[in-house]
Amino acid sequence: MRRSVVVTGAAALTPLGSLDETWCALLAGRSRVEAVRLAGNGHAVPGARSDLELDAVPDARLRRPLGRAGMLAVAAALAAWRDAGLAGANADAAGAVLASPAPDLQLDLLHPAFLAARQNGHFDTGGFARELRRTVPPHWRLGQVPNVIGHALAALLKIRGPQLTVASACASGADAIGLAARMIEEGRVEIALAGGADNLLFAPAHALLRRFDLLSADHGPAQPFDRRRRGLVPGEGAAVLVLESAESAAARGAAVLGRFLGYGAATVPPAAADAQAGAEGFARAMSAALRDAALAAEDVGGLFAYAPGTLTGDREESLAIRQLFGTAVRVTSTKGGIGYLGAASGAVDAALALRALQGRVIPPVANLTEPDELCPVACVAGEAAAHPRAAALCNTHGLGGQYASLVLGRAA
């Protein structure tokens, strides 16, 4: 028997602030993009930076290897845990599923060692080893394991049940929520933290996005579904949910923010990465999530699209949404407001979708003024729209061919 899963805590850190601040800013159609300096080469590029308190992680030993994405993840997890009223609770049997952020090797830090190794076209390992030892601190290596975030949560919150670190690029945040919900459904744990963080504001990430021609060319914000859209604005942020079995939440009288209803994931070989293939990936993930939720398309009121503001990405997804939902579903994208937060995106959107269900209102796509007729879906533009139905769907996609969708429901 599959158990019901509810959400009892949520927190986010986005370029527009906390979850509350982000929600209010998005309802008002605001966005935040600024010139930020890329880690690794210091270049100023348009980006969406989140404000992070430097002491967000209380223990320096835990803080050093985390990096910005890890710090954001831990800060959001601590806030979600408090939000769920679990501060001080025994977490021995709790689980956690966190997204793996884009790994930053910190090439600038390694640069002197690689320079020292360059000897007449031959790699001098001895010179490399000596220089690396002299210039690179041991916590650099510790920061290279993606599960460093889970380790910090085990140390700080004493979450000592099963933990997973999900690596499906920018789909990881949604996959994390789906896999954590499975753990609760099958009775492995009662409570699990789920979500993730990412930081795309470092040189190799920028180079990769540029190579895929995904970046907004000017210094303006992203404009999902707008005919003038030029690409995404990379950013950093985090969101973490507390998922809990309905029994456990009821037993401790926890406030229920919403319900997890379904999850679907799909892979489409990127060899066939044309519009058809992208649409197929989204369609298969959405269908699987609806099937898992035992819902029909018409049960879904609002759809938080992946739509990062790229030319083909928004169109492929629109085709899939149109095919499954017609124009009956109200579609929004948060990327106009907060930029593209990589592996955090799916978790941030899930946290915001729960707000939409609670408030019965879906925020507009920031910066959407001229809807693209090649994206034939009912986008929420200008003003927030009503969201009367009891279910919402969130889409994500990760570079490499992975797609994931979540269906969330209003608290009963």
Partner 1 sequence: MSAARVVVTGVGLVTPLGNEAGLVWQRLEEGRTGIGPIRAFDTGGCPVGVAAEVPGEPALAAPAAARLPRLARRSSRLGVAAAAAAISDAGVSSEPPVRPAAYVGTLPGELDHLEAPALGRGAGFDARELDPWFLFRHLPNNTAFALAAGLGFRGPIFGLASACAAGAVAIGEALQALRRDEFDWVLAGGACAAVTPLGVMGLALIHALSTASGAEASRPFDARRDGFVLGEGAAFLVLERAERASARGARIYAEVAGYGAAMDGGALLTDPDPSGEGAARAMQAALASAGCAVEEVDCIKAHGTSTRANDRMETRAIRRVFGARAERIPVTAPKSMLGHSLAAAGAVEAAAALGILAREAIPPTINYSTADPECDLDYVPNQARPARVDTLLLNSFGMGGHNAALVIRRAA
Name which of residues 318 to 377 contact partner 1 (CB under 8 A).
none
Smallest distance from partner 1 to CB 206, Å: 5
Tell me which residues in 205-224 interact with partner 1 (CB under 8 A).
Answer: 205-208, 210-211
Scanning residues 179 to 198, which ones bind partner 1 (CB under 8 A)?
A: 179, 182-183, 185-186, 188
Q: Which of 35, 55, 87, 126 binds partner 1 (CB under 8 A)?
A: 126
Among candidate residues 10, 199, 174, 187, the one with its CA nearest the CA of residue 97: 174
From residue 255, give the alpha-carbon distance in Å to each of 47, 82, 185, 242, 259. 36, 12, 19, 11, 12
Does the protein bind partner 1 through residue 401 (CB under 8 A)?
A: yes
Which range in 25-33, 165-173, 299-307, 361-369 contacts partner 1 by CB under 8 A? 165-173
Buried b (16+ CB within 10 A) or exposed e, 94-106: bbbbbbbbbbbeb
Q: Which of residues 46-85 bind partner 1 (CB under 8 A)?
A: 59, 61-62, 65
Spell out the alpha helix ranges (H) of 158-215: 172-185, 203-211
- The reply to whether 90 sits near partner 1 by the rule CB under 8 A is no
Instruction: Work out the angle between the directed axes of helices 345-359 and 172-185 (0-180°, nearest 10).
Output: 70
By C-beta, is 42 or 88 nearer to partner 1? 42
Give the position of tokens 């999900």.
166
Integer Cα distance of 91 and 165 in angstroms = 18
**Min dist. Cβ of residue 109 to partner 1 (A):** 10
**Residue 118 contacts partner 1 per CB under 8 A:** yes
* DSSP string for 318-358: HHHHHHHHTT-SEEE-THHHH-B-GGGHHHHHHHHHHHHHH
* Residues from 9 through 38 that contact partner 1 (CB under 8 A): 38
According to DSSP, residue 231 is labeled: -
> 109: helix, coil or strand?
helix
Pairing of strands 191-199, 236-245: antiparallel
Site for partner 1 contains 132 (CB under 8 A) = yes
Binds partner 1 (CB under 8 A): choice among 85, 103, 220, 371: 103
Query: Among residues 315, 326, 229, which one has the least CA distance to residue 279?
Result: 315
Does position 107 bind partner 1 by CB under 8 A? yes
150 binds partner 1 (CB under 8 A): yes
Rama region for 392: left / alpha / beta (φ>0; ψ in -120 to 50; rest): beta
379-398: contacts with partner 1 (CB under 8 A):
398
CA atoms within 13 A on the CB side of 145: 12
Q: Which stretch binds partner 1 (CB under 8 A): 144-152, 250-258, 306-314, 319-327?
A: 144-152
x/- map, 269-298, partner 1, by CB under 8 A:
xxx---------------------------
Assess 312 for contact with partner 1 (CB under 8 A): no
Segment contacting partner 1 (CB under 8 A): 177-185, 354-362, 364-372, 387-395? Answer: 177-185
310 sits near partner 1 (criterion: CB under 8 A): no
Token pair of 67 as six digits: 């990096």
Residue placing its CB nearer to partner 1 in the complex, 162 or 371: 162
Q: Which is nearer to partner 1, 41 or 323 (CB)?
A: 41
For residue 24 the two structure tokens come to 């209010």
How many residues bind partner 1 (CB under 8 A)? The answer is 89
Best CA proximity match to 189, nearest among 132, 234, 247: 247
Q: Which stretch binds partner 1 (CB under 8 A): 232-240, 242-250, 268-276, 369-377?
A: 268-276
With respect to partner 1, which residue has the nearer C-beta, 104 or 372? 104
CB of 269 to partner 1, least distance (A): 5
Q: Which stretch binds partner 1 (CB under 8 A): 70-78, 156-164, 237-245, 385-393?
A: 156-164
Q: Which is nearer to partner 1, 191 or 257 (CB)?
A: 191
Distance in angstroms (rounded) separating the CA atoms of residues 202 and 204: 6
Burial of 374 (0-12, 13-18, 19+ CB in 10 A): middle
